[in-house]
Structures are given as structure tokens and as C-alpha cells.
Amino acid sequence: MQKIACFVTPHGFGHATRTIAVVEALQRIIPDLHPHFFTTVPQSLFAETLKDFSYHPFSCDIGLVQKNGLQADLPATIKSLDSFLPFDEKLICDLAEQIEGCCLVLCDIAPLGIAVADKAEIPSVLIENFTWDWIYRAYLDDYPELQHTITYLSRQYRKAGVHIRCQPYCGSTVGDFECGPIFRTIRSTRTEMRKRLSCTNRRTVLISMGGIDLQLPFIKQLPAIKDTFFILTGQNKTKRCGKNILLLGRDSPYYHPDLINASDLVVCKSGYSTITECVQAGVPIVTVGRTSFPETGLTLLINSYISQKKQQLQQQTVPISLQSFCAAHSPSKPADPTCYGERVTTFHSQLSSDRDSLYLGLNNTVVTTILLSHAKHSYNI
């Protein structure tokens, strides 16, 4: 059995679903790969995709303390950060012992995992479309006391053995490598899913506000829109309200990428994972802005990214040795794709022909794969 540790920020569900997509791809290539997740994201979210994993309920990151799904509480965030940082040396040592036997630490985007990997002397990989130091910079004018946190976290992120930026990303930080959008793949056809939802012949709108509680008072107005079927995720329990509203609880058996694929429109926050899953399905998006949250501009970046894709990308795989990769690149040095070795056009039969894959050698005996999926459709968001 090959083991890896995954430190996943509990800020919403998007970072967890991106990590799930990566781990799912890894397990296709390495069937005996066993991930250990360190996070407070509900275990059920991992279980709906992954069968073989260990879950360690642990608050590995602060991120932003939220008043609700759309508003951050900066004073509470700063108070929590001051208690959490700098990292406690005993905590790092204890976690390093806990991940003994792992050959890699994967971080999205919890920097504590990088510090733990450094202490355990094993490779670390940071996967992100933004990091917390970049997020906090947007609040510096009003909260200058965040500067010491930004400086500390920037230093921690730079310690990652490999730094992968997922397009479309926020900010101008230079990583070691850039990849296309990462998302969980669709399982059911649109027709199959709409039949399960009993919305076969109706226009369907999915309202998905992520993994942070948010009151939706407009629900009372939806029954009047009789020609449209509304699906609202993240509710307290699953139930039907009248003939055109389906509320889905957090423990709903419906797989979110399939819900997106079954919809005609998705209303969501401007979070990376939901938007990239919409891009995968080719479903139009309406985003709800979050007050002062820097990632809100992600929809514009997505639109720009898609418009540059004039034709479908061809399948590629890039073999990389982690040792030579790390030797060739420091975090301050942009990646040069020509140094990754000869591109090949064939891959394991487990991967479908419309995906790109990136190989990262973990050690002499283990090869891991990060699935890079690209949008097939261009449309205006």
C-alpha cells in the first residue's frame, strides 16, 4: 500500500472537491494508493467519490471566518489567525509522526501540511488557484495588522516542494507549474439524471452556494415560477416543496457534478470548483458576488481562459521526475515546459482520451498522476 497525506482547508467544499478529483485520478493509476485526509470538511463528501481512504478530523487551516456564505468576519478571522500562527512546533512534530509511512503530502491550500512535510522530510505538493496570503492582501487597507500573517504564510508556501497553479488562477504568484482546470468528472448522463430528478421536460435551475451556511429567503417566491424546476443544495434536509422545488440536504445521494450536468442554469458563488464543474458540463452560470472577497473576479478569469481555447486540446502526458523537477525549479523561477522530457501521446487505458495528465515522480517506486481536465465548450459566462 502506498500512502499519502492530504491537508485540505475547510473553507467551504471547493478545495476538498478539487483534492478529491486529484486523488481519484491517482487511484486509477495506483490502485493501492491510500490517502489520509486531515480536515474538518465532512467525511461524507470524500466518501461519495472515494472508497479507500482514512479521515482524520482536524482543523488544519483558518482561511476566513464567515458570518454567512457570502460575508467574511475579518475581526474574528484575525483573532483566529493570531491563535493559530505561527505553527506550534509540538503540533508539527506530532503530525509528522502521524503521517509516518506516507510518501507525499498534498496541500490545498493549508500551509500547515507543507510545514509537516518539511518536518517529516517527505515531498510536498501545493495545488492552488489562490493562496491565503493573496486573499489577505485585499484587506490590508482596513486591517493592516494582517501584514505579519501575510509575510509568515508567504514564507510557508514557498517551502512547498512542488507548487502547481490551477488555471484560471488569481494573482501573479509564480509557481513551478501551471495546469488546466481540475474538477470531479461527470458520472451520469444528462437524461439519466433528469429522469431521477423528475424534471425531464422542464427548464431546470440549480442553486448551489457551497459548503457554508446561507439563508435563502427568496425560496418562498420560487413556486410562482411554475415552468422552472429549482434544485437547492446544502439544505438542512432533503425534501420536495410543491411541484417545482427540490431541497437537497448535505447528505443527499445526488452527486454534484451530475446535478450541474442535468441543469440548464447554475446560480452559485464565484468559487473555483463549482465554476469549473460548470465549465466541464457546458452549463451557463450566474454568480452571486461575495462582499469584498478577492476570488469574486474568478468568473472573469474563467471567461478569458475559455475564450482563448479556440479548439479542443489534444491529449498529452508529461513524465516528470520529482527530484529533477525540484532541482530545476525554485518557487521564484517560472516553469519551462521544454525541460519536462519528451511528450508522449499514449497513456494507461484507465484514462479517457479527452483528458490531460501530469506525472509527478514521488520516489523511485511511486508515480502519481494529477488529472487535468479541460473544458470542451466555449460560452460567455
pLDDT in tens, 235-294: 888 889 888 999 998 788 899 999 999 999 998 877 788 888 988 898 988 877 655 655
Q: Report the distance separating Cα 258 and Cα 212, nearest Å.
A: 21
Fold of 2-184+314-373: Rossmann fold (3.40.50)
Residue 331 has pLDDT above 60, yes or no: no
Residue 145 has pLDDT above 70, yes or no: yes
| Alpha-carbon distances, residue 340 vs 108, 168, 176, 177, 320 (angstroms) | 24, 22, 12, 10, 6
* Section 113-132 average pLDDT: 96
pLDDT category at 378 given cuts 50, 70, 90 is very low
Lowest mean pLDDT among 156-165, 306-315, 331-340: 331-340
* Section 8-27 average pLDDT: 93
Residues of the chain with CATH 3.40.50.2000: 190-307
* pLDDT tens-digit series, residues 211-241: 555 566 777 788 888 889 999 988 888 889 8
Angle value at C-alpha 350, between 346 and 354, nearest 5 degrees: 60
Question: Structure pTM?
Answer: 0.77
The residues, ordered by sequence, that sit 6+ positions from 194 with a Cβ below 8 Å of its Cβ are: 200, 204, 262
Q: Report the distance separating Cα 239 and Cα 378, nearest Å.
A: 35
CATH architecture of the domain covering 190-307: 3-Layer(aba) Sandwich (3.40)
Residue 72 has pLDDT above 90, yes or no: no
Q: What are the start-end ranges of the E strands in 64-174?
A: 102-108, 124-128, 162-166
- Residues 127 and 162 sit within 8 Å (Cβ to Cβ): no
Q: Report the distance separating Cα 116 and Cα 113, nearest Å.
A: 5
